[in-house]
Amino acid sequence: MSYLPCGTYFESYADDQKWWRTNFIKGKMIFMVVLLAAAPYIVGSQWMSVFYTINYYILAALGVQLLIGYCGQITLGHAAFVAVGGYTSAMMVLFLPWPQFMVDAGLVYPISIVCAGFAAALWSVLFGLPSARVKGFYLIMTTMAAQWITLRLVITQLSKIGGREQSFPLPPGIIKIGPWVIDSDEKIYYFSVILVLICLVAMGNLLRSKMGRAWIAIRDNDIAAETMGVNIVVYKLLAFFVSGFFAGIAGAFWISALFFVSPENYEWFYSLLWVGIILIGGVGSIQGIVFGSAFVVIVFKLLEISVLGLSDILMTSYPEWGWVTTKIIFFKESAFGLAIIFFLIYEPNGIAYRYWQLKNYFNLWPFSYTGK
């Protein structure tokens, strides 16, 4: 399937570089889109929150994958850029004096998404500036600094606007795209699917362009790239810009699912979670982001369900063990930590590599000639 069938020859470079080169791939993609569109009716709407959480993680991890997996710039502060996106969008929707016709036409939220993307991108470039001079651990420290500085600024400066507490609730009906008001789990899900598809395609296209090739050259060896004529400062900053833009979109999307913004959704934990997701999924692979996000969210959900089931049993038969259920969050965190460690030790190439192996196996089935 990843190989071309016999007898298919391309006559131009453009044909060879196309997204969908054969009818089979085209069919596969159309099937996938249909499957995504029909998902709420197949699995039931109670699972929609899991699905759009996966999509949110995909959006957020996209930027991390770009920086770490394609440009080789390690970032551990991505939640800060997502926070900038979320807050920009929320502040714009809540506090800007929009003319009435724009509110009626539902333009406010889409405009705020784009602005959130640019705000987060600029903020990200600001913290990417040291990457011109430092790399490795020193760069990790500057991105970590971004996390601390941004979150502190948000908590101390923004949370005072309007004299509210730390979170800004978004009144129902305010998140509106054109004529559609986003108010139910299914609508959030569809919105997230559309955003994810757009962003994944954009990312894939960027990586095929001059810019993407420059990023990959920098990742593989930045000094060699520089001698080959790649302006590494510009391209590193571009990588920060684009990844910040994706982060901003992710942040702006997530407020439509939460209906509020509050700093605790942008803790350092999330920065690390997204890096963990791309490591579990596979570094340097777009599919890896999807696999990693799905793996993490579903494992968390299963842990939750199993512990909740366990708590019922405990409550009825062993009431003195009831405290176990209050520790579920910490258990989840510990389990996630161990999952990262064991993936890195035993599966350093991530799930995407296993998927690739599986695909190859079935390509050649039943005449596989590799021992693996």
Question: Which residues of this chain interact with another protein, rule CB under 8 A?
Answer: 68, 74, 76, 127, 129-130, 133-134, 136-138, 140-142, 144-145, 148-149, 152-153, 155-157, 221, 223-224, 227, 269, 272, 275-276, 279, 283, 327, 330-341, 344-345, 348
Residue placing its CB nearer to another protein in the complex, 184 or 334: 334
Residue whose pair of structure tokens reads 């579903």 in the numeric block: 298
Residue 1 or 224 having the CB closest to another protein: 224
Taking the C-alpha atoms of 239, 243, 248 and 249 in order, what is their torsion angle to the nearest 10 degrees?
Answer: 120
How many Cβ atoms from other residues are within 10 Å of residue 11's Cβ?
7
CB of 126 to another protein, least distance (A): 10
Rounded-to-integer distance, Cα 96 and Cα 352, Å: 43
Which C-beta is closer to another protein: that of 174 or that of 339? 339
| Cβ 35 to another protein shortest distance, Å | 32
The alpha carbon of 104 is separated from its chain's Cα centroid by a whole number of angstroms, namely 31
**Whole-angstrom Cα distance, residue 131 to residue 125?**
10
For residue 3, the minimal CB distance to another protein (Å) is 29
Considering the complex, what minimum distance in angstroms separates the CB of residue 331 from another protein? 6
CB of 154 to another protein, least distance (A): 10
In whole angstroms, how far apart are CA 98 and each of 87, 183, 214, 239, 254? 17, 21, 41, 33, 22
Q: How far is the CB of 180 from another protein (least distance, A)?
A: 38
Contact, 203 vs 62, CB < 8 A?
yes
Smallest gap from Cβ 68 to another protein, in A, equals 7
Nearer to another protein, 55 or 73 (CB): 73
Minimum CB separation of residue 169 from another protein in Å reads 23
> What's the closest the beta carbon of residue 6 comes to another protein, in angstroms?
38
Closest distance between another protein and the C-beta of residue 147, in Å? 9
CB-based burial, 59-89: b 16+ in 10 Å, e otherwise: bbbbbbbbbbbbbbbbbbbbbbbbbbbbbbb
Of the pair 246, 343, the CB lying nearest another protein is at 343
Query: Residue 181 or 328: which CB sits closer to another protein?
Result: 328
Give the side-chain half-sphere CA count within 13 A for 300. 20
Residue 36 or 126: which CB sits closer to another protein?
Answer: 126
Which residue number, 12 or 326, has a Cβ lying nearer to another protein? Answer: 326
User: According to DSSP H, which parts of 209-285 are helical?
Assistant: 210-220, 222-227, 232-258, 268-281
List Cβ neighbours of 199 (8 Å cut-off, separation of 6 or more): 59, 62, 246, 249
At 201, the amino acid letter reads V
Structure tokens at 292: 């990693």
The DSSP symbol for 174 reads -
Are the CB atoms for 247 and 78 separated by under 8 Å?
yes
- CB of 35 or CB of 129, closer to another protein: 129
| CB of 56 or CB of 336, closer to another protein | 336
What CA–CA distances, in Å, run from 221 to 48, 68, 241, 284? 42, 14, 21, 15
